[in-house]
Chains A and B, each alone.
Chain A
Amino acid sequence: MTALVAMRVAGFVRGGRALAPLIAVLVVLGVIYGGGASPAAVAYGYSAAALFPVLAWLTKLLLDTEPDVQRRLARLAVGPAREATAGVLTAILLSLVVCAAAMVAPWLFHGIDTEQSLATGIALGVLAHLLAVPPAVALGALASRAVTGSVRLGVTVLVVSAVLVVVLGLTTSWAPWLVPPVMATARALNDPRFPPSAATLAVLTGWAAAWCAAAYAAYGWFRRSRA
């Protein structure tokens, strides 16, 4: 499976398809950190929320890079479960690289206000990004061509879901549980004077885990039923 992950990373990077999401990441980081310094937790909370749709898009692009026939050849070589898992792992790996870059970037722009409690802020930032990656990858995987069958439907799924994550994530939302807690996490980190309690963090983590369990189960079901 490592070899399949390596092959997909190479195909994605060498083929030049990684360029568009890379530019998107730079734009997002530029917008967040261009305006001045803010406390670590606040900055990282926004960064995680803003990267969510980019990471989902990156996942879709990554999984769609491989031609359908090649995906089927990979499936014959390693078996259906491991082929699908390898795709998700590749996306998680690349997303973690993006998140690491996003954690480092503000230090280059002096985007972090170092007067506030730094260690807590960074720890919360790491958590916020880690809570954003698995749902973003799940969403991108559900929008991939292997699941949706057509490019147009895939893009629709991706865009509508990304908008819903924001809309249903607002405080006035009637069904926040339908989407992963991306907005809720950003809000919880928004006030550096009152960092979120352990209970709040546990709820957010559990919420993200439950959403991911459902989304990955759906992905597995789609991949089993569609060649």
Chain B
Amino acid sequence: MRFQDVWFRYSRRSDWTLREVDATVDPGATVVVLGRNGAGKSTLLQLAAGVLRPSRGLLGDRPAVIGWVPERFPADQPFTAGDYLRRMATIRGITDPHAVDRWIERLLLTEHTETRLADLSKGTAQKVGLAQALLVRPGLLVLDEPWEGLDAVARTLIPDIVTEVTAAGGMVLVSDHRGEITALPDAIHWTVSEHGVHAAESPNASAEAEVIVEVAMRRSEATQAVAQLRAAGHRVLRIQDQVPDADVRGGAFLAEPDRAQEAPVDRESR
């Protein structure tokens, strides 16, 4: 996907929100969009999603299926969460009724399916917003502050989902101002300011740099897993007996064993 000399302002009389944006996102890439409040992060993401149209310039090579998770989910609608997602699935042309249930379960929405959208907590509404964007696997996933309002368990789902989308050749754009990006070590960083958008490789992005992954596993499997990791050329730094609360999110990240096995295979194939 390419931004070609994209300029944007909200009305003829207002100042330019974004100027001269020239940038490219490759298939399989994750881009984290950074910048201070009001710098235009959300605007840039909405341009990428095709929700806003550039005032000048154009966006090329956008994939056909785009998932957009808005910054605030529009909860002012007279539907229950389950009804809303089923309707959005039908609108997306999904005929398989289990497609919706899969995401409801995965995003821990099962107990909220009969709750009206207006009565959902902010975090739960955010998960409904996430689910509707993922019903069809998107070629471009745009996440506007996806961590906002999510609890610790749900936060760990996002890196997982991002990895799945990019592993299938999709692109992901994420905005973030809370430093959650450490969960996306491969991401490219874009900084939005009044001077435009600057792309910078993430400091850790070079292939040689190391990242630290915290994993929780059953004691009975630990010895074997450590041996396997060492055999694969990784350095195992520390083995800890108890998992303190703060580490739960690191642990849940790779909690599902099938996905943990999938991830390295997907990396190689892309």
Contacts and interface: CB of A to CB of B under 8 A. Distances in A.
Do A and B actually bind?
yes
Interface in A1-39: 3-4, 6-7, 10-11, 14-16
A77 B70 contact: no
A187 interface: no
A219 B79 CA distance: 28
Interface in B48-88: 49-53, 66-68, 70, 72-74, 76-79, 87-88
A176 B90 CA distance: 44
Contact of B87 (A7, A72, A225): A7
A41 to B, nearest CB: 40
Contact of B91 (A66, A67, A78): A78
25 contacts: A3-B87, A4-B91, A6-B87, A10-B78, A10-B79, A11-B79, A14-B79, A15-B77, A67-B76, A67-B77, A68-B74, A69-B72, A69-B74, A70-B74, A70-B77, A72-B68, A72-B70, A75-B51, A76-B66, A76-B68, A77-B88, A77-B91, A78-B91, A225-B53, A227-B52
Nearest to A67: B74
Interface residues of A, number: 23
Contacts of B87: 3, 6-7, 10
A3 B92 CA distance: 9
Contacts of B166: none
Nearest to A5: B91
A74 interface: yes
Interface of B: 46, 49-53, 66-68, 70, 72-74, 76-79, 87-88, 90-92, 132
Most B Cβ at <10 Å: residue of A6, A14, A72, A77: A77
A151 interface: no
Mostly, the A contact residues are helix
A73 interface: yes
Interface in A52-87: 66-70, 72-78
A75 B90 CA distance: 14
Contacts of A74: 91
A10 B132 CA distance: 18
Given A66-B77, A75-B51, A76-B51, A7 B91 contact: yes
A10 B86 CA distance: 13
Contacts of B90: 3
Contacts of B73: 69
A7 B88 CA distance: 9
Contacts of B72: 69
B149 to A, nearest CB: 16
B78 A11 contact: yes
Most B Cβ at <10 Å: residue of A14, A15, A76: A76
B116 to A, nearest CB: 10
A76 B50 contact: yes
Contacts of A227: 46, 51-53
Contacts of A15: 77-78
Contacts of B76: 67
Nearest to A224: B53
Closest 8 CB pairs of A and B: A67-B74, A3-B90, A14-B78, A69-B74, A15-B78, A70-B74, A72-B51, A3-B91
Contacts of B74: 67-70, 73
Contacts of B78: 10-11, 14-16
